[in-house]
Amino acid sequence: MRPSAGNERPPGRPVSGFVPGFAAGAPPPAAGASPFGAAAPLARPGGPAGPFAPPTQQQGPPVAQAAASPRGPFGAAPPAAMGGYRGPPPPQGSFGAGPPPPGPFSAAPPPQGPFGMAPPAQGPFGAAPPPSQGPFGATTPPSQGPIGAAPPPQGPFGAVPSSQGPFGTAPPPFRPPPSALLQPQSPTGNTMPSPTYVRPPPVQSQPQPVQGYYPGGPNPQFPPSRPSFQQPMQNMPPPSMGPPSSYSNQPAYPTTGPPMGTLQTLVEDFQSLSVSSAPGSLDPGVDVNGLPRPLYGDEEPAKVLEAFPLNCHPRYFRLTTHTIPASQSLVSRWHLPLGAVVHPLAEAPDGEEVPVVNFGSAGVIRCRRCRTYINPYATFADAGRKWRCNLCTLLNDVPGEYFCALDASGRRFDADQRPELSKGTVEFVAPTEYMVRPPMPPSYFFLIDVSVSAVRSGLLEVVAKTIKSCLDDLLGFPRTQIGFLTFDSTLHFHNFKSSLSQPQMMVVADLDDVFLPLPDDLLVNLVDSRHVVESFLDNLPNMFQDNVNVESALGPALKAAFMVMGQIGGKLLVFQSTLPSLGIGRLRLRGDDVRAYGTDKEHILRIPEDPFYKQMAAEFTKNQIAVDIFSLSDKYCDIASLGSLAKYTGGQVYHYPSFQATTHGEKLKHELSRDLTRETAWESVMRIRCGKGVRFTTYHGHFMLRSTDLLALPAVDSDKAFAMQLSLEETLMTTQTVYFQVALLYTSSSGERRIRVHTAAAPVVTDLGEMYRQADTGAIVSVLARIAVENSLSDKLDSVRQQLQLKLVKSLKEYRNLYVVQHRIGGRLIYPESLRYLPLYILALCKSLALRGGYADVSLDERCAAGFSIMILPARRLLNFIYPSLYRLDEVLTVEPDMIDGALKRLPLTLQCLDTAGLYLLDDGFTFLVWLGRMLQPELMNDILGVSLSNFPDLSKIQLRECDNNHSRNFMAVQRALRERDSSCYQLPRVVRQGEQPREGFLLLSNLVEDQMAGTSSYMDWILQIHRQTQSS
Ligand SMILES: [Zn+2]
């Protein structure tokens, strides 16, 4: 059977839709008046005539090849290796026998692959499906969907048979690491002086005397009492937000708390809050000032490195508790997630660089059984001729080229000179066994909606200018590939052949049977075709300026992009400004439905309606294409569906509601520039191995799971983090240490195949208290937030929030039980120092855009976009997203410019911190919200806004630009300082005046997560609730 070929046209089909030189829907220009001058000759694909007639056999679409053709992307790949990376040569050891494992994307047996139900002989883009069926028509999505497809037993990293567990053949007993590497199991053991707990002054978080290797928290100074917010707001937020009842009836810092300075001497290492009140009294008895607040953001558990100096830095790999419970019973008492957050390409800590190691002829040194890479925890034996794998304990031969003698302690003499033996993070140069084709060139393909809404919003100009300004900085010079496809109700291909002086546009109007009007020159080398590309970008805004077409054929455009990019892979950037309305993948205006909330149908609005996007994503991932979605609609555009393209390809969703170039142009410009120029790992896969007895069970983030534990990431960069959960495979752990190793195999932009390896060790503990002491709130919140977002795709928001609360309560209850009896602390809420911010973060998560409220509290698209963001954010950014940073600025604007950064002090997120005479800025990492108090000095306000408020400017449209005065200059300096702290996103300033409803409600009040609003608890009420629940039996 002939490979099916979606870009071929069946004989005899009309080509009436094929119109050169202008967009259908626009009036045909006079001859020769197409935007690029001479109209391209009309080609009839499949016919003999036109200059662009595609060769009929040479360009079967890659998908079809994967299924039916033995040709790899560059013709060199073995039959089963399409799109994936073959592992290294079959190991010689016990797993070495048998034929080489099939590549991860090889033609899997039908019931397993993501498209398993499709007839194997017909690619998903089969040439001639029955008319009633779309290309995916016959495909009943398997119950698992592309994610969770049954894995081939062996992935590219030479995984082990899943049925057996990695160590099926009774390995020798796990040898404890040499004492030099061994840390006391319980670094916080009893050798430390017993801390004496003294009830802290107003601010809790009094650092404890040294406890374990985590520092006591910083000592955030609660701001001195400010004039409280006494004037009740005159305008209430809209009903949907609920009245912010905390405005006037919540007292300013209560003075009725328990007597301060109660000295309760406790010889244990936990924190407690007095919540006691006389029986029957309604007086909550909580000192609001004393509640812990994370005003210093994420606390990277850098102290782990003191106990485990050979570990990778925790910014690459963080466990939710840096311990491994020794037994199942201990696991069942740890009610928080047991797992990790991995940020494989995080920026290296200051002053460090990831060392690159080339093993040369010795080849990459790996354990022949479990495929672990050599690392600082490996030990050497037999005078240096053998090395023992720290994950599976197998004794491996040391290749002759890699041999080095050992010193008296059994350490290699060259250990300090070799990064792989002394550093937790290294990068190996991968030899040719790690590739099935030459490393791909970085390639960028842009799919740009040019329908009327895109034109009117000014999108085209911003996109064209930004891309043009980035051309010198695109990754991979001089190999970079680039191409563009524009679309409305038709598809517009652009020929960038280097010999042309201007690009040629070819329009394909047949959406049911998309084909390429040209075999080559749609994705071209940037150096060769630079002048043609620049000419295109210069003309793009004008080309469609009169377009009145309202339709969007996104689905067919995606298929066309796939045909163009499929052979190479790369990044596909989609700019969508309206709901896809034509062809496959058209979406309904299903919008939000108040009746669905609270029912078991509620979640359906948050999941893709049409399986097309998920299926398309699976095809993209197979062919090493990562999709970034830029959604810029002023109406509902079904981010839930569009986002799945990013979700399963390692991509990202950018959402600019009601995009207008004049307002949002800067933000789009910065974020698009970063997307195009940040260092990117191409065609990558990631696997995390762990030692005997534990196993990663679920993964959360943007990727496609290629086998049980192999994450396919067509592209990944420093802005993406992943979370995963861990389970114990044995009832009782017999080792003292468990090792983890993250390996990311990728192609660098310079075209080198690399493996980035992070290795970490964690102690096995038998003490629940130790698990709590080593708990990492940032990692816990990262895992919990991702699970919550995923649960919101199959459950009601309310249930999701309740589940979060339940986890918190169970965990604090368990902790309480550890101490309550011996210390008679009945009336106090106790919690471990390490988790002192967890209750607030969980409250904030429940009030986040993704999980807050119900119908009308957040627009459906915004909610879904926030969910997609949460899935990829590294811990620090995630924590700042759910508990944003609030600063008072009016006082900062008078300091010397170079003192500004240091003068910014975070405030608790409560209305009570807002002085009506103040100017405040709230930074959630995506937006700067500038709040002008009602009594703010008019001069200051005018200086900053550049206009007088007495002119009643529309603050929703106001642009903050630097004006010629010190206030304004400093105000800009503040914004720059905050943006420099994290350049992954560009916070666009939005200005709101106190009392300006409903904007104030949406923009600011909903972010004041410590206050009561719309039926949610205030922080104080939340603590009381949690306390009550931890006490109940
Ligand atoms: Zn091993």
Q: According to the model, what pLDDT value does residue 393 have?
A: 95
* In the predicted structure, residue 1022 carries a pLDDT above the cut 90: yes
Ligand 1 center to 166 CA (angstroms) = 9
3-state secondary structure 738-780: EEEEEEEEEECCCCCEEEEEEEEEEEEECCHHHHHHCECHHHH
Architecture in CATH for domain 443-678: 3-Layer(aba) Sandwich (3.40)
Query: pLDDT at position 593, please?
Result: 79
- Statement: residue 308 has pLDDT above 70: yes
What does the block give as tokens for 951? 């002119």
Output the CA 826–ligand 1 centroid distance in Å: 49
Beta bridge partner(s), residue 922: 886, 929
Q: How far is CA 391 from the centre of its chain?
A: 28
- The residue that leads in pLDDT, 1015 or 356, is 356
pLDDT tens, 98-120? 333 333 333 333 333 333 333 33
Residues near ion ligand 1 (CB < 5 Å) are: 367, 369-370, 372, 389, 391-392, 394
Q: How far apart are CA 752 and CA 679, in angstroms?
A: 13
Q: What pLDDT score was predicted for residue 1013?
A: 84
Spatial distance between the Cα atoms of 307 and 182, rounded to a whole number of angstroms: 9
Write phi, then psi, for 496 (nearest 5 degrees). -110, 30
At residue 274, the pLDDT reads 61
Q: Specify the pLDDT at position 745.
A: 97
- Confirm if 298 and 875 have CB atoms less than 8 A apart: yes
Indicate whether 472 pLDDT > 70.
yes
Distance from Cα 874 to the centre of ligand 1, integer Å: 30
Contact 385, 346 (CB under 8 A): no
- The beta-carbon contacts of 165-171 under 8 Å, at least 24 apart in sequence, are 165/695, 165/729, 166/370, 166/392, 166/689, 166/692, 167/370, 167/392, 167/692, 169/94, 171/392, 171/393, 171/394, 171/692
pLDDT at residue 261 greater than cutoff 70 = no
Å from CA of 259 to ligand 1 middle: 59
Distance between Cα 737 and ligand 1 center (Å): 15
Backbone angles phi, psi at 937, to 5 degrees: -55, 130
Give the C-alpha separation, 66 to 293, whole Å.
54
List the structure tokens of 523: 């994705």
User: pLDDT tens across 802-858, in order?
Assistant: 999 999 999 999 998 887 766 666 677 888 999 999 999 999 999 999 999 888 889
**Mean pLDDT on 422-427:** 97
Distance between Cα 329 and ligand 1 center (Å): 28
- 357 within 8 A of 798, measured Cβ to Cβ: no
| Model confidence band, residue 87 (pLDDT cutoffs 50, 70, 90) | very low
Mean pLDDT of 870-876: 97
Is the model's pLDDT at 896 over the cut of 90? no
pTM of the model as a whole: 0.77
Which helix (H) or strand (E) element contains residue 927?
A: strand 927-932
253 versus 399: which is more confidently predicted?
399
Secondary structure letter of residue 173 according to DSSP = P
Q: How far is the CA of 966 from the centre of ligand 1 (A)?
A: 63
Tell how far the Cα of 764 is from the centroid of ligand 1, in angstroms: 19
Query: With bands split at pLDDT 50, 70 and 90, how would you rate the model's confidence at 1033?
Result: low
Closest CA to 520 of 479, 564, 487, 484: 564
CA separation for the pair 389, 741 (Å, rounded): 12
Pairing of strands 481-487, 524-525: antiparallel
CA–centroid distance, residue 388 to ligand 1 (Å): 8
- Ligand 1 center–CA 179 separation, angstroms: 20
Token look-up 């782990």 returns: 304
Distance CA 540, CA 464 (A): 7
CA 368 / ligand 1 centre spacing (Å): 7
Q: What's the 366 CA to ligand 1 centre distance in angstroms? A: 8
String of DSSP letters for 312-350: PPTTTEEESBSSEESBHHHHHH--S--EEEE-TTPPPPT
pLDDT band at 331 (very low <50, low <70, confident <90, very high): very high
What's the CA gap between 859 and 428, in Å, rounded? 46
Q: Is the pLDDT of residue 777 over 70?
A: yes
Q: Which of 297-301, 411-415, 515-519 has the lowest mean pLDDT?
A: 297-301
Of 336-345, 953-962, 1014-1023, give the lowest mean pLDDT range: 953-962
Q: 117-131, 315-329, 414-428, 845-859: lowest mean pLDDT where?
A: 117-131
Find the 167 Cα to ligand 1 centroid distance in Å: 9
pLDDT at 49: 35
Classify 302-347+682-845 by CATH class. Answer: mainly beta
Structure-token match 């399986």, residue found: 611
pLDDT of residue 822: 62
- Compute, in angstroms, the gap from residue 687 CA to the centroid of ligand 1: 14
- Give the residue, 4 or 768, on which the prediction is more confident: 768
What is the phi/psi pair of residue 940, to 5°? -60, -45
Percentages (nearest 5) of helix, strand, coil residues in the chain: 25, 15, 55
Measuring CA to CA, which residue among 480, 336, 387, 349 is closest to residue 776?
336
For residue 690, the CA-to-ligand 1 centroid distance in Å is 10
Quickly tell me which residue has 């990692």 as its tokens: 779
CA dist., res. 729 & res. 263, Å (int): 45
User: Range with the lowest mean pLDDT among 57-61, 298-302, 962-966?
Assistant: 57-61
Give the separation between CA 673 and CA 105, rounded to whole angstroms: 32
Q: Among 64-73, 532-541, 636-645, where is mean pLDDT lowest?
A: 64-73
Q: What is the pLDDT of residues 487-520, one digit of tens each?
A: 999 999 999 999 999 999 999 999 999 999 999 9
Task: Give the C-alpha separation, 338 to 330, whole Å.
Answer: 11
pLDDT of 305 reads: 94
Question: Is the pLDDT assigned to residue 429 strictly greater than 50?
Answer: yes
Quick one: how many helices (H) and strands (E) in the chain? 23, 31
Ligand 1 center from residue 767 Cα (angstroms): 28
Which pLDDT score, from 0 to 100, does residue 22 have? 37
Cβ atoms within 10 Å, residue 50: 20
> What integer pLDDT is reported at residue 276 of this predicted model?
52
Cα 420 to ligand 1 centroid, rounded to whole Å: 16
Domain 884-1008 architecture = 3-Layer(aba) Sandwich (3.40)
pLDDT at residue 195 greater than cutoff 60: no
Residue 269's pLDDT is 53
Q: Domain boundaries in the chain?
A: 302-347+682-845, 360-422, 443-678, 884-1008
CA of 746 to the centre of ligand 1 (A): 22
Q: Which of 32, 34, 50 is nearest to 42 (CA)?
A: 50
The pLDDT assigned to 902 comes to: 87
Cβ atoms of 213 and 981 closer than 8 Å: no
> From the CA of 84, how far away is ligand 1's center (Å)?
24
**Separation of 751 CA from ligand 1 center, angstroms?**
29
In angstroms, what is the span from residue 75 Cα to ligand 1's centroid? 34
Q: How confident is the model at residue 952 (pLDDT cuts 50, 70, 90)?
A: confident
Euclidean distance between CA atoms 101 and 610, whole angstroms: 34
Q: Which residues of 618-645 are buried (b: 16+ CB within 10 A; e: fewer)?
A: bbbbbbbbbbbbbbbbeebbbbbbbbbb
C-alpha separations of 329 from 174, 326, 334, 767, 811 in Å: 22, 9, 9, 11, 14
DSSP state, residue 27:
P
Query: pLDDT class for 733, splitting at 50, 70, 90?
Result: confident
Q: What is the mean pLDDT of residues 575-582?
A: 96
> How many Å lie between the centroid of ligand 1 and the Cα of residue 975?
50
Q: How confident is the model at residue 78 (pLDDT cuts 50, 70, 90)?
A: very low
Q: How far apart are CA 494 and CA 74, in angstroms?
A: 24
Asked whether the predicted pLDDT for residue 21 surpasses 90, the reply is no
Instruction: Give 590 or 794, the one with higher predicted confidence.
Output: 794
Between the CA of 372 and the centroid of ligand 1 the distance, in Å, is 5
Residue scoring higher pLDDT (182 or 894): 894
Q: Please give the pLDDT value at position 116.
A: 32
Per-residue pLDDT averaged across 299-323, rounded?
94
Tell me, in angstroms, the distance from the centre of ligand 1 to residue 367's CA: 5
From the list 728, 687, 721, 692, the residue with the least C-alpha distance to 706 is 687
Its CATH class, for the domain covering 360-422, is mainly beta
CA gap 431, 433 in Å, rounded = 6
pLDDT above 60 for 289? yes
Q: Where are the beta strands (DSSP E) in 68-206?
A: none
Angle at 365 between CA 364 and CA 371, to 5 degrees: 100
pLDDT at 407 over 90: yes
Q: Indicate the length of the chain as a whole number.
A: 1033
User: Percentage of the chain with pLDDT > 70?
Assistant: 72
Rounded mean pLDDT of the chain? Answer: 78
- Strand 481-487 with 443-449, pairing: parallel
Q: Beta partners for 726?
A: 696
Place of tokens 């991968």: 430
At 857, list the tokens.
């509290």
CA of 270 to the centre of ligand 1 (A): 39
Q: Please, which residues have CB within 8 angstroms of residue 867's CB and are 6 or more apart in sequence?
A: 606, 789, 792, 793, 850
Give me ligand 1 centre to Cα 393, in Å. Answer: 6
Summarised one tens digit per residue, pLDDT across range 662-683 is 999 999 999 999 999 999 999 9
The pLDDT > 90 percentage for the chain reads 59
- On the question of pLDDT at 562 being above 80, the answer is yes
Cis amide leading into 292 (omega within 30): no
Ligand 1 centre and the CA of 695: distance in Å? 15
State yes or no: pLDDT of 63 exceeds 90. no
Sole residue written with tokens 């701001």: 223
pLDDT score for 882:
97
Q: What is the DSSP string of 403-433?
A: ---B-TTS-BTTTTT-HHHH-SEEEEEP-GG
What pLDDT does residue 826 have? 62
Among 237-241, 434-438, 615-619, the range scoring the smallest mean pLDDT is 237-241
- Distance (Å, whole) CA 494 – CA 517: 10
Q: What distance in Å separates the CA atoms of residue 970 and residue 972, rounded to the nearest whole number? A: 5
More confident residue, 789 or 76: 789
Binned at pLDDT 50, 70 and 90, residue 281 comes out as very low
For 901, phi and psi rounded to 5 degrees?
-55, -45
Q: Which of 117, 163, 120, 121 is nearest to 144 (CA)?
A: 117
Tokens of 879: 């924590």
Which range (251-260, 512-521, 564-573, 835-844) has the least confidence? 251-260
